[in-house]
Amino acid sequence: MGHVARKRFGQHFLTDKAVIDGIIDAIGPGEDQAMVEIGPGLGAMTLPLLQRLPASSRPLTVIELDRDLAARMRKRGDVTVIESDVLKVDFAALAAERGRKLKVVGNLPYNISSPILFHLLGVVDHVVDQTFMLQKEVVDRMAAGPGGKDYGRLSVMLQWRYDVEALFDVPPEAFDPPPRVDSAIVRMVPLPAPARLEEALLSELVASAFSQRRKLLRHSLGKWLDARGFEGEFDLQRRAEEVPVAEFVALAQAVQG
């Protein structure tokens, strides 16, 4: 009996072979990699990955919450299965266990994609790169530059630590069942020398800045800076969407002192 997609897990299974081949090409399986797949589902990406994954990069580690799907994966000898909520997985420990940085891939559940991205942001130093399929709207926000409606907190927080590149779109008919939204593939490569600062501080600063995105920053971020006794220079006569990532980061560093 076939597996029925479970709505509570946000399951949509990729079935289009051309799309799958394009994703595998984007991932670029190679020698001596520690690859982790989030949400392998029925193995649409897992099996083609394994076909191109050299022996030096095996086993492939997969993280699957659905116990029935995890049981299916355990039948394979070339896969290590972590049956867990991905938000509870210790990726730093996983990298230490494999003795190298991780290459993380997957078709992320759209209902918790942002929490997964922020969970991985906390272990970015243990990652080589990340290639994900996500809702197109989310990918647009991740990769957006300043000046448009897609640019926001997600853009700033991720681009502080990653080079984010939207690769290509995936239509609903590539899945079974088809989602009600378009999807897209995104690649995230950690920056070699990111600005060092407290993630929590930057997150609070950026959340304040975008809390009233239609108003000038003096109405939102200005009050946040005043409350912290900040006396430095920063142009608050702009809207949050006009401020480049580098300026938000530099401001956070100045506030941190």
Residue pLDDT, tens place only, 12-26: 789 999 999 999 999
106 forms bridges with which residues in the sheet? Answer: 38, 132
The mean pLDDT value for 124-128 works out to: 97
Fold (CATH) for 7-190: Rossmann fold (3.40.50)
39 is in an annotated binding site: yes
Confirm or deny that 119 is annotated as ligand binding: no
Alpha helices in the chain (DSSP H): 17-27, 46-52, 67-74, 91-98, 113-121, 136-143, 153-159, 199-209, 221-227, 245-256
pTM equals 0.91
Mean pLDDT of the chain: 93
Domain with CATH 3.40.50.150 in the chain: 7-190
Q: What is the pLDDT of residues 173-213, one digit of tens each?
A: 999 889 889 999 999 999 999 999 999 999 999 999 999 99
Q: Where in the chain is the domain with CATH 1.10.8.100?
A: 199-256
126 marked ligand binding residue: no
12 annotated binding-site participant: yes
CA 79 to chain centre: 22
- 199-256: CATH topology is Helicase, Ruva Protein; domain 3 (1.10.8)
| Segment 116-124 mean pLDDT | 97
- Residue 111 known to bind ligand: no
Q: Are 129 and 191 in contact (CB under 8 A)?
A: no
Determine if residue 219 is labeled as part of a ligand binding site: no
Alpha carbons 147 and 152: distance in angstroms, whole number: 10
Residues 117 and 210: beta-carbon distance below 8 Å: no
32 with 53: CB under 8 angstroms? no
Q: Which two tokens stand for residue 153?
A: 């907190």
Predicted pLDDT of residue 11: 56
